[in-house]
Copies of this chain bind each other. A is one copy, B any other.
């Protein structure tokens, strides 16, 4: 039987997710319902994507017995209460990144998912890109020797995008794009917790961070640094440097483009 999806929020990211989901075989995945704060928005979304049911409240979606898993595409500050709504209704949840606004909220969501014995995942799609699979393969094989430095960055001008600059919408470069860098670092260092974290950054007048540089120190003299910015365009490449070799990851993360250092040059795989 197909996994039956409910879509929470009819915004742009929910649209993109639904479009992607529909490329999978219908016998494996089906979108059975969508909910928005306004029922007209849900109805329009349902019509566009050929979804059977539409609801004017998230609570109604939570009560739908035919929904196995809910994709949550609401803005960051609403992740906490929306996640809790669905986990407490015994629904599995795939929540957009960032999972929540701070550690306290994340813990509350995790606790709820465990208590209700439901599946919970933060929608960090980059982990599933071919290049990430290739990186994990190279690391597992020890091709780089001991990794000593991980450098990543994500900078793109977003000053015109309300959700990126307004505090009440969960703005700030760290939550919006920096999370990809942090996830990349965590992936390379296999989920290990850093021994220390230093950050330098600048804020907008709205009180959210525009650009942040974060340095992390891990056990065994291993380092990482990442930069995130909603103010300027960066090349958005990543580097993993080890004692036996260095991987360079192109900005096009969705391709299988890993560069492997040979001496001082770079070979495209």
Chain A, 227-250, contact with B by CB distance < 8 Å: what is the 0/1 string? 101011111010101110110100
Near B by CB (< 8 A), chain A positions 210-240 give: 210-211, 213, 215-217, 221-223, 225, 227, 229, 231-235, 237, 239
A198 contacts the other chain (CB 8 A): yes
Main secondary structure of the interface of A (DSSP, over half): strand
* Residue A57 lies at the interface, judged by CB distance under 8 Å to chain B: no
* A155 within 8 A of partner (CB): yes
Copies of this chain, count: 2
Contact B239 A225 (CB under 8 A): no
- Report A254 CB to chain B, min CB distance, Å: 13
Say whether, besides A149-B211, A223-B211, A243 and B248 are in contact (CB < 8 Å).
Answer: no
Q: Verify A200–B217 contact, CB threshold 8 A.
A: yes
Cβ-based interface call for A96 (8 A): no
When distances are taken between beta carbons in the complex, the residues of chain B under 8 Å from A221 are 202-203, 210-211
**Given A215-B200, A235-B246, A235-B248, are A227 and B229 also a contact pair (CB < 8 Å)?**
no
Q: Known: A225-B225, A246-B235, A261-B233. Is A241-B155 also a contact (CB below 8 A)?
A: yes
Cα separation A222 to B202 with both chains bound (whole Å): 8
What residues on B are CB-neighbors of A20 within 8 Å? Answer: none
Instruction: Give A172 Cβ to nearest chain B Cβ, in Å.
Output: 14
Selected from B149, B155, B245, the residue in CB contact (under 8 A) with A227 is: B149
Instruction: Give 6 closest A-B pairs by Cβ, nearest first.
Output: A232-B241, A202-B221, A200-B215, A213-B215, A213-B225, A233-B246
16 A–B pairs (Cβ distance < 8 Å), ordered by A: A148-B211, A148-B232, A149-B232, A157-B243, A200-B223, A202-B217, A210-B221, A213-B215, A213-B225, A233-B241, A233-B245, A233-B246, A233-B264, A235-B237, A235-B246, A235-B248
